Chains A and B, each alone.
Chain A
């Protein structure tokens, strides 16, 4: 995860509510604050204390979660954290060992996948290789017993929706990766599900296409007013698309919140570390005063904001100032530069502190070089240091 670039911190809402997202607008990730949170919508998905074990391991360990109507909800976590199992429980491919799942108020226990008001887009797309694109998209409609003419009309509309008009007679094998992804999306949308599940929808696309498709997915979700639940291991993807994110680890929910919550107010070391690059300073509580929490760490007494009794501080590389002379700041640590990595829009400097701890800080790419054989001083404001209770 550490290879991903830091994402520009979401600035306060600019008030262009409803302006929508214009594709191609210099490739900026859509900021979630332009989307209204689901105002008091009744939840479409209710997961109550769900547990699922596979031979020897507990894939989903006591998860309770409500997902509101019209949300773009992301399940985020490293591989093996149980996010895909949770999605498969919603689709009905797995049955929970404990707990209950309600979709649109209906209990789903014992309801097979083919009777659920839910459709899924598979990570591999799972397009039927022996059918044309149109037959793939129309497969679900055919199961509903719709007349042939109506199926054809709706397939044509769906093909237009995903901008694949005229490709209906092709075989999936004759399409590019991006086109296949659209066919899979159109097929999953065909039955107008109450809930669309997407398993790593962008994982098979290359980087450029992935960014554009992110924007398109969000625009489509808003236009159709559907609820999307997307599984991803890519924090940038989740931050960029979702209205709410659930971060999972080892089958448990670690934190559920808006992208801003998760990014700016992580509650645990795991979440802080998983969402982008952070420097963690672990220590013992040393009191709280004036809205600040103090911690005794191996690098001295440091201040941050957050719950008292915190055991770690999380500081993002972009919030750290590097100076050659001791600045007058609340949090100052001393170390030696070990190396710098040019990344185009910024430079990552690796600093080894006196305690032996390695810290990353970013600088402007054309800042004057730092001395390799003299002490440098790192400082940051307590407001940028998030105190973590676990």
Chain B
């Protein structure tokens, strides 16, 4: 009985995805009609310059945003886990707010920020890859901070004390003991931030400018004009990529 329920659950979760993958190999142009097995849509996808360009933009933004998020998130996570300072609670809530805030609101507030800083400071000039990257880094930072904070909370402080006792000044203790031991957490956070950025449509829509469309934006606008089997092929590749990255993050997270 419980197995049947489990089966129903899995079907509910994965049937749409399986169907999408299946139809990406459909020879027919009509989305809902099976016309035999073919990989031609994958070939056409590779010749589609708009999609290839958007893919490059997305990967660039994701890698850059994840890296910024990893650095800032590690610092934020360390500060939250280790220090008691005035306004710590406020900082904690602020750093993790993007986790729970509707993306529409985060996107809108970031857009307002960018517009007003451009007016007052002249930077950033217009919106494009830079502003999307900043927006995604903000989102990713929250995830990295949470992961790093959790890892530090479980950290045996006597390891750091032992290193201090053996003559290493605090910065060296952080570099040789703390950082290597929380590295799997940081890597997990980086991968999470990377996939989040790759997935994101809402923040990107708010903060992008002309000529800087990310992959989800291109897919979304293409779908509105009618679903092409090319999109199925693209979606299949994306699912594979995201599954790979999430699997990697999970594996890293389980290692000590």
Contacts and interface: CB of A to CB of B under 8 A. Distances in A.
Interface of A: 91-93, 112-115, 118-120, 122-124, 126-130, 139-140, 143-144, 187-188, 190-191
A129 B165 contact: no
B244 interface: no
13 contacts: A93-B161, A113-B164, A114-B169, A120-B162, A120-B165, A124-B156, A126-B156, A126-B158, A126-B161, A130-B181, A139-B176, A143-B172, A188-B165
Interface residues of B, number: 18
Given A118-B165, A126-B159, A139-B176, 13 more contacts: A91-B165, A112-B164, A112-B169, A119-B165, A119-B166, A120-B165, A124-B158, A126-B162, A128-B162, A128-B177, A139-B168, A140-B166, A144-B167
B180 interface: yes
B168 A122 contact: no
Interface in B170-216: 172, 176-177, 180-181
B168 A143 contact: yes
Given A124-B156, A143-B172, A114 B164 contact: yes
Shortest beta-carbon contacts, A-B, top 6? A140-B166, A143-B167, A126-B162, A126-B158, A113-B164, A120-B165
B161 A113 contact: yes
A122 B162 contact: yes
Contact of B167 (A126, A130, A191): A191
B256 interface: yes
Interface string B136-177: 000000000000000000001011011111111100100011
A354 B161 CA distance: 56
Contact of B181 (A92, A129, A188, A190): A129
Nearest to B173: A114
Contacts of B161: 91, 93, 113, 120, 122, 126
Contacts of B180: 130
A122 B166 contact: no
B170 to A, nearest CB: 8
Nearest to A173: B256
A113 B181 contact: no
A122 B181 CA distance: 19
B85 to A, nearest CB: 17
A127 B163 CA distance: 9
Contacts of A114: 164-169
Contacts of B164: 93, 112-114
A92 B163 CA distance: 13
Contacts of B176: 139
A91 B180 CA distance: 25
A119 to B, nearest CB: 6
A112 B163 CA distance: 12
Given A122-B158, A143-B172, A128 B167 contact: no
A203 to B, nearest CB: 14
A115 to B, nearest CB: 8
Nearest to A93: B161
Q: Choose among B161, B162, B168 the residue with the greatest number of A CB atoms under 10 Å from its CB.
A: B162
